[in-house]
Amino acid sequence: MRVIVAEDGGLFHDYLVTTLPQHGLTVIGQAKTTAELMTLVHKDPPDVVTLDMMMPRQRAPADRAAGMDAAREIRASHPEVGILMLSNHGELSWVEAVLALGNGVGYQLKDRVDDMSALVQIIRTVASGGVRLDETLVSDLIRRPRINDPLADLLPRERQVLTLMAKGWSNSAIAWNLNYSVKVIEEVVSAIYRKLDIHPDDGINKRVQAVLAFLRWGPQ
């Protein structure tokens, strides 16, 4: 898997560039500004970009909006490229902006990256079109007040299963955690799809669509 690392320097940049190849990923480019990043992506699109939310555009200092602007440009020009935001900030407005990009996105807090193998799994999920968020951010999003909530018809068990789906858990992991059989969890997941009006379609990852509906419905 081919990755471009966009970090404006420091130990975290060095950690990613040094450690990702040890876990089977190929770092094909490094960018310290969003201008450099876009040049690299346009020249040779990777499978995934890891992107700091706050980066310089062309030179220091960092800009709060630069990372998100770059993510939107990548999604518009190269929709097949996965985008994983790695940030020191858990602002829900930023998380919601990333979710609005659709499939193949993630948002992970840097200070919770203590296991590179787990981060690599997140990168692979994003590359395959999945959605992964830091679990603490999922919890914050769940607690948001909601209006016109499309999830209102979900039973408590269905909402519980969907919460774990949003945290990236597989059906088997959910079954083990809730002490149900995998078959029961599969039936619950099917019920969630029906209630959210998500129908079988080869072009749609139903699990991702359900998670997106759960996480981004609002406004607050």
User: Could you report the per-residue pLDDT of 153-189, keeping only the tens digit for each?
Assistant: 888 898 888 888 877 788 999 999 999 999 999 999 8
Where does the pLDDT of residue 217 fall: very low under 50, low under 70, confident under 90, or very high at 90 and above? low
CATH 1.10.10.10 residue spans of the chain: 144-216
Least confident of 1-15, 105-119, 135-149, 204-218: 204-218
Q: What angle do CA 46, 104, 100 make, to 5 degrees?
A: 125
What per-residue confidence (pLDDT) applies to 151?
72
CA-wise closest residue to 162 among 105, 210, 96? 210
Percent of the chain whose pLDDT exceeds 90: 41
Where does the pLDDT of residue 23 fall: very low under 50, low under 70, confident under 90, or very high at 90 and above? very high
Q: Report which secondary-structure segment, H or E, holds 125.
A: helix 116-127
Residue 64 CA to its chain's centroid (Å):
19
Do the Cβ atoms of 70 and 56 come closer than 8 Å?
Answer: no
Where does the pLDDT of residue 142 fall: very low under 50, low under 70, confident under 90, or very high at 90 and above? low
pTM: 0.77
Copy the structure tokens of residue 14: 């060095």
What per-residue confidence (pLDDT) applies to 148?
63
Where does the pLDDT of residue 129 fall: very low under 50, low under 70, confident under 90, or very high at 90 and above? confident
> Quick one: fold of 2-140?
Rossmann fold (3.40.50)
What per-residue confidence (pLDDT) applies to 201?
56
List pLDDT tens digits, range 87-107. Answer: 888 788 888 888 888 889 999
Query: Looking at the domain that runs over 144-216, which CATH code has it been given?
Result: 1.10.10.10
What per-residue confidence (pLDDT) applies to 2?
97
CATH 3.40.50.2300 residue spans of the chain: 2-140
What per-residue confidence (pLDDT) applies to 145?
62
- As a whole number, the mean pLDDT across the chain is 85
CA-wise closest residue to 52 among 114, 96, 92, 98? 98
